[in-house]
Structure 1
Amino acid sequence: MAAKMRETQIPTAEGTAVREVFPQGWEDVRGHAEIVRRLRRLASAGRLPHALIFSGAAGVGKRRTARVLARTLLCASGGDAPCGRCEACRTTAAGVHPDYFEIAPEARGKGAAMIRTEAVREMLIAASEAPAAAKRRIILVDGAERMNETAANRLLKTLEEPAGEILFILVTNAYDAVLPTIRSRAARIAFGALTRTEIEGALLERGGVPDAKAIASLADGSLGRAYDLVDTGLAPRDEALSLLTALPVLRIDEIWRRAEEFGALSHDDRMARLGFFRMGLRDMLVLMEAGTAEIFHADRRAELAALLPQTTRPRIFALLRESDALIRRLGTNVNPALQAEAFLIRARKQFQ
């Protein structure tokens, strides 16, 4: 059973506080056993480089691992894991350790969240002094791919010539989007997807998740996505599959109704429904090749298999292309209901 985790206020370079749950120890990292062993060995031997970059899909545990590593390095015991009892462990978990800094993308207005130049500058100034309580200062940059160009170049200068004992841990969901010169100065640790068994186990430990097995299948290797699905429930998924399985017999009046309902959703909800719809199409392709293979909608295998005699592989690929086009159009200034209506009319033909 994983240790209980505490909600804490994590200070950012901008001086704001983000309510987060800070992991207590390595037992709170789900999966990635080889990465954990490697980091613990390097931490204990004092052989970590001055900069690490944790890359991998969203929600697989990169930031959590980075935080446990930071807590380990700041711990007064100096071992390969945080003791959880010393003052350093307590202040790190509470988000007030003077040698720990964390920065993340910030949204302003309707613009995309990003890490701005002033935030990086303030963080680097704060971290430039000698360690106050530990042997080194630790800077965690979450969402490193979302630094603007000026911020990235400022960070690069410090990575090239770090002052004193300091460790940078950069966390990214998009490794190739990080400035190449930054990538070349940090040791990369690539995080793979979690297994369905690992995700299901984490959900069961959390408790109160009756659809844990189905959610683990839909999470696509991401525990973060699994937690999001727990919060939102499976109703959006069920609506998407209801539409897919109804396509062969969908009447025009039903198309109008469903298109209006789709248009009334928020943009994020529309994207979520389309995501589940596309997962269903990919499941059908898998079932055509190997009927016993793992699929996303594992709990709805029979319904998806029943659709196979009514379509063909080329038609499913055509429907995937149509859904791609719909996603692109919905990102522009269009009427979502009209776009959904046209899509459903074309989609129905792939089952006739």
Structure 2
Amino acid sequence: MARMKNAAPMAAPEAPVRVLFPRDWTDIRGHAEIIRRLRILAAEDRFPHALLFSGMEGVGKRRTARVLARTILCERPGDSPCGICDSCRTMAAGIHPDYFETAPEARGKSAAMIRTDAIRDILVAASGAPTLAGRRIILIDGADSMNETAANRLLKTIEEPAGTAFFILVTNAYDALLPTIRSRTVRIAFGSLPRAEIAAALREHDAKNAAAIAALADGSLGKAYALAEEGLALRDDALTLLMELDTLRVEDIWARAEALGARTHEERTAWISYLQMALRDLLILHEDGGSTALYHTDRRDDLMVLLSRMSRAHLFDLLRETQELSHRIGANVNPALQAEAFLLRAKG
């Protein structure tokens, strides 16, 4: 069963740079205008029956939804949770009887999704009258991962909302939701975060290479935290490949292809994305050698060396090759053989 919680999870942080559950609006990075609008709605208590938070992964949608839930459930009227009332304390303890949350769950080797039984259970649990607050809140994280039956069951409830239930749906893939669900919710679109904002958050947690990671995170604080945990070894390996491409011998290609094939699917996908980022940086530098809008800001000197070796036509060819490699590996074709073919073509 997909996880269902009747209050905010207070588990220990998964990683040293991550703060999992926010206390109030000051724990949200960026999105000042969205927060301003939500606080006005909270102060005036005039929410629709369902909100849909959409945007790229890792920008703070779920965190914002959780702070909003705390604000609405707080016993003291206003635009922020007070932190000291019974409702705020039970939220902090993870046992608020009027807050329900579910998210995708993987079973066996199948992809994570929100299944029908999870939606059924959370709707049944939240169908009664509020116990402590003035309404009940249902947060559905990863709403785009609902299977068709689950989505239709939720749709029926949203179409005919009962009592005081208030829904917050969170998605990284707005277009993947049923059009009928989209049409019955009020969408709030979250943009990417500025690099400076991400770098500041990383520095607060003493993360190394904050500026470089902020550039690579492409607007996602969640991705930045993950990169801070993982380090930049995978990125550096992809750039080293580009630097050494002209001098690779056949036996080097075999070794590199075997090494890439032995990585996890997630690592291979990330490695290819780093390669594509570097190629994109080189194309930008071809147009504007002084540009600072680079992903690999900390490796600019290496990029300038590569720039003298690669024509624009060659860069576009390599981009097409990396896209084809990504497609073939995603289709579960033997990754080592595909990497070998890719390297042979890339070397020319």
Structure 1 length as normaliser, TM-score?
Answer: 0.93
The answer on whether the counterparts of 2:6 and 2:94 sit within 8 Å (CA) in structure 1 is no
Aligned to 1:191: 190
Does 1:76 pair with 2:75? yes
**Separation in 1 of the partners of 2:66 and 2:266?**
29
Which of the pair has the greater relative contact order for Cα pairs under 8 Å at 6+ separation? 2
C-alpha separation in 1, matches of 2:131 and 2:332: 52
Structure 2: which amino acid aligns with 1:174? A
What is residue 337 of structure 1 aligned with on the other side? Answer: 336
2:7 equivalent to 1:12: no
- 8 Å contact 2:193–2:219 — kept in the other structure? yes
CA contact (8 A) 1:11 1:95 kept: no
Matches within 5 A, 1:108-123: 108-123=107-122
Identity of aligned residues (%): 62
Residue aligning to 1:242: 240
Q: Distance in 1 between the 2:290 and 2:25 partners?
A: 36
Structure 1 residues 11-50: aligned runs within 5 Å: 12=4, 19=11, 21-50=20-49
Cα deviation for residue 292 of structure 1 reads 2.5
Cα deviation for residue 252 of structure 1 reads 2.0
Q: Secondary structure at the match of 1:111?
A: coil
In the alignment, the residues of structure 2 paired with residue 312 and residue 206 of structure 1 have an alpha-carbon distance, to the nearest angstrom, of 41
Pairing 1:1-352 to 2, within 5 Å after superposition: 12=4, 19=11, 21-207=20-206, 209-293=207-291, 294-349=293-348
**Aligned partner of 2:4: which letter?**
T
Q: Deviations over 1:163-196 (max 9, x none)?
A: 1112100000000111100000111000000000
Q: Distance in 1 between matches of 2:289 and 2:115?
A: 49
Calculate the aligned-residue CA RMSD, in Å.
1.7
The range that moved more, 288-297 or 49-58, is: 288-297
Q: How many residues align?
A: 338
Q: CA deviation at 1:331?
A: 2.5
Kept after mapping to 2: 8 A contact 1:145/1:174: yes
State how far apart, in whole Å, the 1-side matches of 2:227 and 2:204 are: 16
Query: In the alignment, which residue of structure 1 is the partner of 2:16?
Result: none
C-alpha distance in structure 2 between counterparts of 1:13 and 1:328, whole Å:
37
Give 5+ residue unaligned stretches, structure 1. Answer: 1-9
Work out the CA distance in 1 between the residues paired with 2:342 and 2:10.
Answer: 41
Summarize the Cα distance change of 1:14–1:119 in structure 2 as closer, same or farther, 3 Å threshold: farther
Secondary structure at the counterpart of residue 228 of structure 2:
helix
Instruction: Give 1:253 shift.
Output: 2.2
Q: TM-score, normalised by structure 2?
A: 0.94
